[in-house]
A and B are shown apart, each in its own frame.
Chain A
Amino acid sequence: MKKLILLLFIAGGFFACDSNTVEPTDVQPSLPETAYNYSDLKVPTQDQFSFQELQANSANPKVTDDGATLGRVLFYDNKLSINNKVSCGSCHLQSKAFADNKDFSEGFEGRLTERNSIAIINPNYCQNLFWDSRAGSALDLTLKPVQNHIEMGIEDLDFLAKKLSKVDYYKDLFQKAYGSNEVTPQKLSDAVAQFLCSMTTFDSKFDRGVNSNFSNFTALERKGEQLFNSSELKCASCHSGITFNAELNTSSYSQPDVKGATNIGLDRKSKDKGKEDGKFRIPSLRNVELTGPYMHDGRLKTLEEVIDHYSNKIQYSEHLDIKFKNGNKAVKLNISDDDKAALVAFLKTLTDETYISDPKYSDPFVK
């Protein structure tokens, strides 16, 4: 009899370890009955400041409501990490325009990443993703953090696909998005990319100003905007156009062979070489008020410190962007305190309140 009870316990043990079950706290995503509208991208058709049509990166998939819905769930689902502790949303917080206010982020095992978490700003219109521009499109980017051994730790995407196949809420989501509930790495990548591409932010005080001759700006903001565009400071030559970065081909005059990334003299000799030679991706300045700390390693904590860097702390090196060179020295812009205040006021006009609160980009796993 004792042996039978023991056998029963052992059998029970096996049942408990049935690979068909998931973690005890199996939170369901809370999704609307009718999918949110993700496919209407709400972008201006034209970059107002350059003769460029705002064109989605052709490598990216077309955004569908159901595809982006699935992508949203995946984005916030901890199951995409090896120990179910980290999702994309862990280091990309909507309230911070999808940055995370830390110098470096903690990965699934508590180890720190090597670079600052970048905000997610209009990735569908980018060809330089990650600080070192190694991803040429949102699609190219999507599963790389998942596979990263510090960030999310799932190196084997087939394993991930199998894991998610056993999660019941994905059956319906995949069916709706792809007409079948089969989970494959390609579909995972595609769905997350659709969600990323749906994330557009063009609704700030600045955008309202564009359409009203900036009559909505305070005098200080207007002064800041003029300084930003001025030939002395040339901020707009890298942070250009309606996207405030250097993604559009002719909108910046960095060295022509280095699109979208440059060396701004953070170090005389770069430990982190970035794309190459200490050149890092030029991030968009939209929502910059929310996305500190700044630079690839988060070394500059406030916008004032950023402006101080450009003002008189640029370090000369061979690879310094030519715009910052003055012979063999670094340029000193010597920005006054008044001008600094104006510039910061202007940068704050780039905050898009709807972006950071729009439910369609929010975490569906939170009650």
Chain B
Amino acid sequence: MKFQFLSAVLLLFVFSACAPESTTQEDVKLDQTEYDYSINVPNSAKNELANYYSNSVGNTNPDVTNAGAALGRVLFYDTKLSINNEVSCGTCHHQDLAFADGKNLTEGFNGQLTVRNSKAITNPYFANNLFWDGRASDAMNLTLQPVSNHIEMGMEDMDFLAKKLSKTNYYTDLFKKAYNSSDITSEKISDAMAQFLCSMTTFESKYDEGIKSNFSNFTALELKGKRLFEGSKYFCQGCHSGITFDAENQFSYYGGSQNGATNIGLPLTRDKGINDEGRFRIPSLRNVEKTAPYMHDGRFATLDQVIDHYSKGIEMQEMLDPRFKNGNQAKKFNISDDEKVALVAFLKTLTDEKYLTNPKYSNPFL
């Protein structure tokens, strides 16, 4: 009799433990510090970016609020956004690598490899061509795509995700602070993550210091590299232009590359880029020292190899960027070893140490 009673009680316990209203196992600790996420562009960048945002047509990015970005930060690092709770955005975007991940291709939630190299996160607020194929026109547009990708995070049903997060206790408060209600929808998830992304600005490198002081802080080698980068001979700034070092800002020097993407004559494999034309988005070079390996498939392990490509490795293709053509052949820039060293030294001045360690962008799950 006692035994039957006890087993009944035990069964009851077991059932209540599996009740659908409970959250997942651990008692999660989150960094509760309140940070200022307002988009802060330094004076040295202000002039050039002044016209950028107001003139970007069709931008759907939300205004950044501290509570919204704080929520976005949690979502960014929360593995619950993947179908099997193993992968978050932060899994393939590591702050210490300027939000790249040091791998050629990355493993998704099921161990399958993604098709392209994980891109660093560099001033996405000032970008209209996100992903290697430029398919997202702004951060808002981008946010849920990796979440629903069947290799990366596998969460195809956004309503299911919203329900799942509704049962996660720490989100109640976060959503209330951000949206005045603890009601969770996929739009709000997207919005909060977009706010976090937009708040991620990186404009505090040695180069940026240099702007204020006529580059008196640069070594002779770095200055030489800068001149080579900017000069007509190699004209790297023709694509990697202006204060953002990419081709996103139509108001930077020569941002006339087609929608921030071009074909640089990489021998193509399975991935033929935009419209199979061998065109890929021109990434920003900020923090490039940290974001190896390089190119859409991570084929170049070092900056030296990248420069070797431009020097002698450009392959003639139909859609090759005309600036790399010399008649019907690919141009050979023939960059000397000394010049290569100088260029690499210059590229390293684009590293923003603050960005790589700023706690407000770090993983809040303690």
Which residue from chain A places its CB closest to the CB of B323 in the assembled complex?
Answer: A48
By size class, the interface of chain B is: 35 or more
Q: Is the CB of A236 within 8 A of B253?
A: yes
User: A residues 233-254 with Cβ under 8 Å of B?
Assistant: 236-237, 240-241, 248-251, 253
B 81-120 contacts with A by CB, 8 A: none
Asked if B226 CB lies within 8 Å of chain A CBs, one says yes
Question: Nearest CB to that of A253 among chain B residues?
Answer: B251
Contact between A250 and B50 (Cβ–Cβ < 8 Å)? no
What chain A residues lie within 8 Å of B32 (beta carbons)? none
Counting CB contacts under 8 A, is B277 at the interface?
A: no
**Bound CA–CA A225/B253 (angstroms):** 16
A213 to B238, CA, bound (A): 15
Please state if B262 and A237 are interface contacts (CB–CB under 8 Å): no
Q: Which residues of B contact A250 (CB under 8 A)?
A: 250, 254-256
Closest Cβ of chain B: how far from A346's Cβ, in Å? Answer: 10
Asked whether, in the complex, the Cβ of B211 is within 8 Å of the Cβ of A231, the reply is: yes
On chain A, the residues within 8 Å of B171 by CB distance are none
Task: Give Cα A138–Cα B199 distance, bound, in whole angstroms.
Answer: 48
Q: Given A49-B232, A229-B232, A230-B230: A322 and B47 within 8 A (CB)? A: yes
A46 within 8 A of partner (CB): yes
Q: Is the CB of B322 within 8 A of A51?
A: yes
Which A residue sits closest to B262, measured CB to CB?
Answer: A51
Residue of A nearest to B327 (CB): A211
Is residue B215 within 8 Å, beta carbon to beta carbon, of the partner chain?
A: yes
Q: A50-B238, A231-B211 are in contact. Are A253 and B48 (CB under 8 A)?
A: yes
Query: What CA separation (Å) do A306 and B74 show in the bound complex?
Result: 55
Q: Which listed residue (A51, A213, A240, A327) contacts B323, Cβ 8 A?
A: A51
Contact A253/B253 with A51-B262, A213-B333, A225-B231 known, Cβ cut-off 8 Å: yes
Asked if A313 CB lies within 8 Å of chain B CBs, one says no
Closest-by-CB residue of B relative to A250 is B256
When C-beta atoms are compared, the residue in chain A nearest to B334 turns out to be: A213
- Known A213-B233, A231-B211; judge A50-B51 contact (CB<8 A): no
**Chain A binding surface, main DSSP class:** loop
User: Given A226-B230, A226-B231, A323-B47, are A51 and B254 neighbors across the interface (CB < 8 Å)?
Assistant: yes
Question: Contact at A51–B258, with CB atoms within 8 Å?
Answer: yes
Asked whether A229 lies within 8 Å of B230 as measured between CB atoms, the reply is yes
Nearest CB to that of B211 among chain A residues? A231
Q: How distant is B121 from chain A, measured CB to nearest CB, in Å?
A: 24
B53 interface residue per 8 A CB criterion: no
Within 8 A of A (CB), among B179-238: 211, 214-215, 226-228, 230-233, 235, 237-238
A178 CB within 8 Å of chain B: no
Q: For the complex, what is the distance from the CA of A50 to the CA of B215, rounded to whole Å?
A: 26
B interface footprint on A191-228 (CB within 8 Å = 1, 0 otherwise): 00000000000000000011101100000001001100
Residues of A within 8 A of B156 (CB): none
CB contacts (< 8 Å) of B228 on chain A: these are: 226
A64 at the A/B interface (Cβ < 8 Å)? no
Q: Which B residues, 115 to 155, have Cβ-Cβ distances below 8 Å to chain A?
A: none
In the assembled complex, the Cα of A61 lies from the Cα of B195 at a distance in Å of: 52
0 or 1 for each of A7-30: is its CB under 8 Å from B? (1 = yes): 000000000000000000000000
Q: A210 to B231: give the CA distance in the assembly, Å.
A: 11
Whose C-beta in chain B lies nearest to the C-beta of A237? B253
- A236: which B residues are within 8 A, CB to CB? 253
Q: Is B55 an interface residue (CB 8 A)?
A: yes
B363 at the interface (CB under 8 A from A): no
Interface string of A287-319 (1 = CB under 8 A from B): 000000000000000000000000000000000
> Smallest distance from the beta carbon of A127 to chain B beta carbons, Å?
16
Closest Cβ neighbor of B235 among chain A residues: A49
- The reply to whether A50 and B254 form a contact with Cβ atoms under 8 Å apart is yes
Contact partners of A210 in chain B: CB under 8 A: 232
Bound Cα distance from A51 to B256, whole angstroms: 5
- Asked if B257 is at the interface of the complex by the 8 Å CB criterion, the answer is yes
Contact status of A255 and B51, CB under 8 A, knowing A50-B238, A236-B253, A240-B253: yes
Flag B245-261 by CB within 8 Å of A: 1 or 0 each: 00000111111111000
Given contacts A51-B322, A253-B48, A255-B51, contact A229 B237 (CB under 8 A): yes
Max chain B C-beta neighbours (<10 A), residue from A229, A236, A323: A229
Chain B residues with CB under 8 A of A232: 214-215
The reply on A256 being an interface residue by CB < 8 A is yes
CA distance A327 to B253 in the complex (A): 21
B308 at the interface (CB under 8 A from A): no
A163 at the interface (CB under 8 A from B): no
Judged by a CB distance under 8 angstroms, whether B297 is at the interface is no
Knowing A50-B238, A229-B231, the reply to whether A256 touches B47 (Cβ < 8 A) is no
With the chains together, A298 CA to B292 CA distance in Å?
A: 53
Least CB distance from B247 to A in Å reads 9
The answer to the question of A113 belonging to the interface, with a C-beta cut-off of 8 Å to chain B, is no
Q: Which residues of B contact A222 (CB under 8 A)?
A: 231
Contact A334 B256, beta carbon cutoff 8 Å? no
Within 8 A of A (CB), among B304-353: 321-323, 326, 333-334
C-alpha spacing A253/B250, complex, angstroms:
8
Within the complex, the shortest CB–CB distance from A20 to chain B, in Å, comes to 57
Closest to B228 in A: A226
Question: B230 to A256, Cβ gap below 8 A?
Answer: no
Give the docked Cα–Cα distance between A236 and B262 (Å).
Answer: 22
0/1 interface trace, chain A 31-59, chain B, CB 8 Å (1 if under): 00000000000000010111110000000
Q: How far, in whole Å, are A93 and B321 apart by their CA atoms in the complex?
A: 39
Give the residue of B50, B214, B250, B323 whose beta carbon is less than 8 angstroms from that of A334.
Answer: B214
A206 CB to closest chain B CB (Å) equals 8
A325 at the interface (CB under 8 A from B): yes
Bound-state CA distance A52–B254 (Å) is 10
Which of chain B's residues have a CB closer than 8 A to the CB of A256? 51, 55, 251
Q: A48-B235, A51-B322, A229-B237 are in contact. List 19 more A-B contacts (CB 8 A).
A: A46-B322, A48-B323, A49-B323, A51-B254, A51-B256, A51-B262, A51-B321, A211-B326, A214-B232, A229-B231, A229-B232, A231-B211, A231-B237, A236-B253, A251-B254, A251-B256, A253-B242, A253-B253, A322-B47
A-B contact pairs, 30 of them (CB 8 A): A48-B232, A48-B323, A49-B232, A49-B238, A49-B254, A51-B254, A51-B262, A51-B322, A209-B232, A213-B233, A222-B231, A225-B232, A226-B228, A226-B230, A229-B231, A230-B226, A230-B230, A231-B211, A231-B237, A236-B253, A241-B254, A249-B256, A250-B254, A250-B255, A251-B254, A256-B51, A256-B55, A322-B47, A322-B50, A323-B47
